[in-house]
Structure 1
């Protein structure tokens, strides 16, 4: 199994570049590092916008280190053409340092920053890892019949030339086997049943697609600490996702789970109690729900698991280091 080839790292840093919230006064600690305004990075940037911007989207930079080897990958690109570039500049992140871009799935709030980001890259081709379904057109049909387009952007011919496309539904190892992309996630719980109002266009026909098979996560194994699982929207269900990461790597220890848990809205708020009950059984050391988790779920998780809970916002960096023996 490819997951067994995932190497333990000495350190992983996960920086939230794009998320739904921003708070420049939030405090941190030795694990949680917060972005804050300073003389070199004022609250109001030269363009008149906030130094960091929040949007209904997600993007995270993942930096790993093992001995003298290092790797940098990006998970998702946010919903706006310029939000990710704006926040990267504020955070001092150079797009040319990235060794791969991963799409957690194809929805617009995770992919619309991709064309502008590709334009900023140098002359080298960057690997783009995604599921075969990720570039299909998508929408949700609301109960009032309003159709919300979630389709990913279409890359120009010039942009395509700067990308090495890696289209896979199976797991993928990146940066010297230090980062694992899960591929399709097995659905094993009886309550995480998908998104019933979601549709995908195949062969010019719209079809109901509650499963969203292209949903995948990123997994890093920190020596002595366990797995760090980073999700985009987690349409597979956060419990299904963690269980699959454990099975894929044959490692039951969960250091941290962060990203979107997709528990917002009337359809998903019903499964918050069952989700929390299973998270308590799994007992991750840290939980940082964000993006599409939703206000209600975030607060209930914070109340149920206060020692594990970390408040999330754009600009936050989590640093997990190997446990010294």
Structure 2
């Protein structure tokens, strides 16, 4: 584990992020200054959407390059299907990072590892990502959101990296946050969430295995990518700032978990704090929810980027004098 007070995260020249899986796909969505969209013309295989998340992250710093996958979607073959549709080659993949152990981020993992064959790759996850999980609705109905049997995926070429704290990847160009400190008054976790520990179901609102990916683009600031952000996006950003000793936030992408009756009431407080943080770009997706996405778009129009499966965003460093 790397010390929180002295993490040697390198500034990078470029970050390229491709959304492989998300809740929506729009093949006619227009590109923006930093976001290019999937072109559907003359394609035999088209990308699909599902209630899940997966993003390919590529970084460059000088002659160094790194490629990491964050999460693997909700179904066994959805992410692999979209990789084919998007023309994604996994030969340079160095690591798979699991943001947390819920089914909508992990169920594509077994087939993905099988697809890698004998290719060397690290699997980075918090120890709690192995746990059996469920949601208990107030009326008593239970919904399983457990991951696959991750321990059954152990192979000689897959290096398991199990950390509760931060982990550096790709020659110190990519930082996995580890457990995220909870500091806000309004981001209180998921009260109807349960985990099975040692054969006993326990209320687990904080979902401590929730973690994000952080990069620092030279002269621009931090790029923070979340899976579901069960820690809360403001807690997550503050934790990223603390880990890196960098206050400037360049871009925020991923699920912000602001959908549903439990979380919609904290949308105003979340947006108030996001405006104070003032990221240059903000591309919410997955579990952010219709209401939160539209309120973010209305209140932060200059930063907002609409999300869609197949979107690729590129963030570049300031040009050197």
TM surpasses 0.5: yes
Write out per-residue CA displacement over residues 245-302 of structure 1, whole angstroms, 9 at most, x where no aligned residue: 0111000110000000000000000000000000000000010000000000000010
More deviation, 65-74/87-96: 87-96
Pairing 1:205-284 to 2, within 5 Å after superposition: 205-284=200-279
Q: Deviations over 1:155-179 (max 9, x none)?
A: 4756544421100001000010000
Instruction: Note if 1:12 corresponds to 2:15.
Output: yes
**8 Å contact from structure 2 (residues 195, 204) kept in 1:** yes
Q: Does 1:144 align with 2:144?
A: no
Query: Gaps (5+ residues) in structure 2?
Result: none
Secondary structure, in 3 states, of the residue corresponding to 1:95?
coil
Equivalent of 2:184 in 189, 211, 216? 189
1:61 counterpart residue number: 56
What is the CA deviation profile of residues 168-211 of structure 1, one whole-angstrom value per residue up to 9, with x for unaligned ones?
A: 00100001000000000000000000000000000100000000
Contact 2:264 2:292 in 1 (8 A): yes
Q: Tell whether 2:116 aligns with 1:121.
A: yes
Corresponding residue for residue 296 of structure 1: 291
The answer for the alignment partner of 1:87 in structure 2 is 82
Does the CA contact (< 8 Å) of 2:110 and 2:153 recur in 1? Answer: no
Superposed counterparts of 1:164-203, under 5 Å: 164-203=159-198
SS at match of 1:4: coil
Alpha-carbon separation, structure 2, partners of 1:157 and 1:130? 15
For each residue in 1:302-322, what CA deviation from the matched residue of structure 2 results, as whole angstroms up to 9, or x when unmatched? Answer: 011000000001100110000
- Residues 101-138 of structure 1 show CA distances to partners (whole Å, capped at 9, x for unaligned) of 00000000000000000000031331100001011000
In 2, the alpha carbon distance for the partners of 1:71 and 1:32 equals 20
Rounded to whole Å, the distance in 2 between the matches of 1:28 and 1:107 is 31
SS at match of 1:267: helix
| Partner deviation per Cα, 1:9-53 (whole Å, 9 max, x = no partner) | 0000010000000001001133111112122x25xx3xxxxx000
Distance 1:182 1:74 in 2: 15
Contact 1:118 1:159 in 2 (8 A): no
Using the alignment, how far apart are the partners of 2:293 and 2:112 within structure 1?
30
What is the number of residues matched between the two proteins? 317
Q: Is the 8 A contact 1:259 1:290 kept in 2?
A: yes
Q: Structure 2 CA distance, aligned partners of 1:133 and 1:61?
A: 23
Q: Following the alignment from structure 2 to structure 1, what is the Cα–Cα distance between the partners of residues 15 and 40?
A: 24
> How far off its partner does 1:154 sit?
1.0
Q: Is residue 2:290 matched to residue 1:287?
A: no
Taking structure 1 as the reference length, the TM-score comes to: 0.95
Equivalents in 2 of 1:238, 1:29: separation in Å? 24
Q: Calculate the TM-score normalised by the size of structure 2.
A: 0.96
Answer yes or no: is the 8 Å Cα contact 1:217–1:229 preserved in 2.
yes
State the match for 2:129 in structure 1: 134
1:204 aligns to 2:199 (yes or no)? yes
Match of 2:24 in 1: 21
SS in 1 for 2:165: coil
Stretches of structure 1 lacking an aligned partner (at least 5 in a row): 46-50
